[in-house]
Chain A
């Protein structure tokens, strides 16, 4: 096995009063929301005043945290042990509403209404790829500005690539502030003539095609939208950049979550490297849903040979079945450890903590506490879960 990576101590991270923001990221389905919620519960019960911003939590988890009203503001979570003086608020991100709030706060009064009612705005604010990331950043900025909490824990949107969280907001920001949208507004605008000329028929063909595919009405809506948005130009990119800088500040800790699977760990690698490039503070890697056995000395091979011996005798079918189960578990364990080893060899300085796969989904406070204890390194993984199917759960 490769050299042991340093162990990630998340209790230290969330216990440090200088830690003000924790961002949980990773590729799709690896356990970002679960980790964010578990850390939030743990930090609150350790005495901090915490708010957790979740994104699309599974229905039952949301219910257990009292997240039933979608009002885009944090609500107190009941059932938390507050004896250490802490408190937990939780909210689910409503991306359309957050977008509306940005418009209301920043557009000139007369314009805000026009924007909100614009059909193009309505589909942009509820379906554009990247809107969710942008609005998660936006909400983080708002929560931070509110100053009510001393620790903000942020979940990130389900996306294929963890990098989207860092890239999408700027993409949307520069699109909304960018030159293409200005050109769309028509040739009257300064500076766009040259482009149009250079493009010649191309641009006309393009708008012609947009009109054909989307319909003239949509294009018109789009132009009205852009015109109404005029007062906000510059604002979008600037806001995205402000939050981005917040993420580079020393009070922020990124927690990268991965499952012990090839794709998820590859994404985690990219992300870790990217954080380094951006000088964003990385706490470490949470390897979620690892499988272990309480009898690691019994190898898969020996267990299988034993099972075959029993098959021949035709007796002890239960023991034979258990040996086969054990062999499967050990093989899975070996494969996972191999993948883990590859990651730590490539990133020897990144602290890692293992969270064992639980026997079932995590959807109540007790389950979150168990994950929280594992995140703090307090549980020796011993409860193997053989429930999970294929080796990868990306997406």
Chain B
């Protein structure tokens, strides 16, 4: 695969956040593929119980178990894991207390529900704990995964999600929990972690990206790159865009062009196309100001194209290729 050296050498945990619906799951999957590169093994993790990965790779719903879902463009392997808090909790209980059937009894009582949805912070402790375990897991002295990519909660919750172990560390002053929380925070705030932010060139996502950078920085969490998703190339030249924005495209020239194109000119068609051109120019202008704002963040920035036919497996590889080429992997 055509690629330059990665901007993220040394990063082992890639956290992908962004405003809801901007393409976090898509970008995380593409990044996992890109990082699988030549012969690497990557793990793509989701934590929101939505089976987004299974849908994307068109495989049956993932159990709480690591499964191979794809082969990287250069031959590496992409594994996937859907962590759910309940599974993580039962695993935890089983590991430390050898809890078999009693675990199910707890569920009937509402205890599992309580622990995973109600006890504030508990859920995130369990989820980040599992991610940490996977990132640190070793076999024969070598890490099992060369990189772990986390399809993370959206920007509004990311700092809190990643920072939950600092809170725990604050509560428990000593003991095994304290040292576990410290190790997780150690990884999450180290240069081995990068929190990437996915955005669209729209007002709200750009604003949320800036807010997230500020929050993450304040929390001492390592901000990675900005991935601008679903970018469309302008279909008019700059000068024409300027004219279109002012409603000053040459109407007669456009009419002549349509005629030359063999498009039957019905009443209203020229004006309709001119109006569409004007809206396009307005959008390009908004995108431009969005780009400028993002540039002000001073972070490595990558752009992924809008896939006209939606995202399928082929599209994911195309996005992965772009990420490699631009140095994101």
Contact = CB atoms under 8 A, between A and B. Distances in A.
Interface of A: 28-29, 58, 120, 123-124, 127-130, 158, 160, 175, 178-181, 183, 195, 198-203, 205-206, 208-210, 212-215, 217-218, 222, 293-295, 297-298, 302-303, 305-307, 309-310, 313, 315-326, 328-329, 331, 359-361, 383-395
Contact of B268 (A295, A324, A385): A295
B111 A318 contact: no
B150 to A, nearest CB: 16
Interface in B4-43: 19-23
B258 interface: yes
A316 B266 contact: no
6 contacts: A120-B120, A175-B118, A201-B97, A222-B119, A326-B273, A390-B21
Given A183-B109, A214-B121, A214-B171, A298 B263 contact: yes
Contact of A319 (B106, B117, B121, B257): B257
B308 interface: yes
A215 B172 contact: yes
Of B105, B109, B121, B236, most buried by chain A (CB within 10 Å of CB) is B109
B99 A180 contact: no
Given A215-B168, A322-B274, A307 B279 contact: no
A262 to B, nearest CB: 9
Contacts of A294: 268, 271-272, 275-276
Contacts of B280: 325, 386
A328 B19 CA distance: 25
Contact of B168 (A206, A214, A325, A388): A214
Given A201-B102, A395-B154, A385 B276 contact: no
Contact of A295 (B105, B111, B250, B272): B272
A319 B265 CA distance: 13
Given A383-B275, A386-B280, A212 B240 contact: no
A316 B261 contact: yes
B237 interface: yes
Nearest to B117: A129
Nearest to A391: B310
Contacts of A328: 235, 308
B297 interface: no
Contacts of A318: 236, 240, 249-250, 253-254, 257, 277
A130 B106 CA distance: 22
Contact of B260 (A210, A309, A388): A309
Contact of B99 (A175, A205, A329, A386): A205
Contacts of A323: 258, 261, 263, 273
Interface string B245-259: 000011001101110
B261 A319 contact: yes
Contact of B276 (A195, A319, A322): A322
A297 B271 CA distance: 14
Of B50, B99, B237, B261, most buried by chain A (CB within 10 Å of CB) is B261
A305 B263 CA distance: 9
Contacts of A394: 20-21
Of B111, B175, B176, B286, most buried by chain A (CB within 10 Å of CB) is B111
Contacts of B231: 389
B229 A389 contact: yes
Contacts of A361: 203-204
B103 interface: yes
A319 B272 contact: no
A176 to B, nearest CB: 9
A306 B256 CA distance: 12
Nearest to B97: A205
Given A214-B168, A321-B235, A326-B276, A387 B99 contact: no
A203 B106 contact: yes
B276 A213 contact: no
Interface majority SS (helix, strand, loop, mixed), chain B:
helix
Interface of B: 19-23, 50, 92-93, 96-97, 99, 102-103, 105-106, 109-111, 113-115, 117-122, 125, 154, 168, 171-172, 175-177, 200-204, 229-232, 235-237, 240, 249-250, 253-254, 256-258, 260-263, 266, 268-269, 271-277, 279-280, 282-283, 286, 306, 308, 310
B105 A359 contact: no
Given A213-B168, A294-B272, A386-B283, A322 B254 contact: yes
A320 B93 contact: no
Contacts of A199: 102, 105-106, 109
A209 B93 contact: yes
Contacts of A303: 263
A214 B119 contact: yes
Contact of B253 (A198, A210, A307, A319): A319
Contacts of B202: 387-389
A317 B266 CA distance: 21
A321 B257 CA distance: 10
Of B115, B201, B236, B273, most buried by chain A (CB within 10 Å of CB) is B273
A215 B120 CA distance: 13
A218 B118 CA distance: 13
A180 B109 CA distance: 6
A29 B253 contact: no
A310 B306 CA distance: 25
B208 to A, nearest CB: 10
Given A179-B110, A213-B168, A390-B230, A295 B97 contact: no
Contact of B21 (A215, A359, A395): A395
A29 B258 contact: no
A294 B275 CA distance: 9
B23 to A, nearest CB: 6
A387 B286 contact: yes
Contact of A215 (B103, B171, B250, B279): B171
A92 B166 CA distance: 31
B44 to A, nearest CB: 18
B269 A295 contact: yes
Contacts of A386: 276, 279-280, 283
A128 B102 contact: no
Given A200-B102, A319-B254, A306 B168 contact: no
Nearest to A298: B269
Contact of B263 (A175, A180, A302, A389): A302
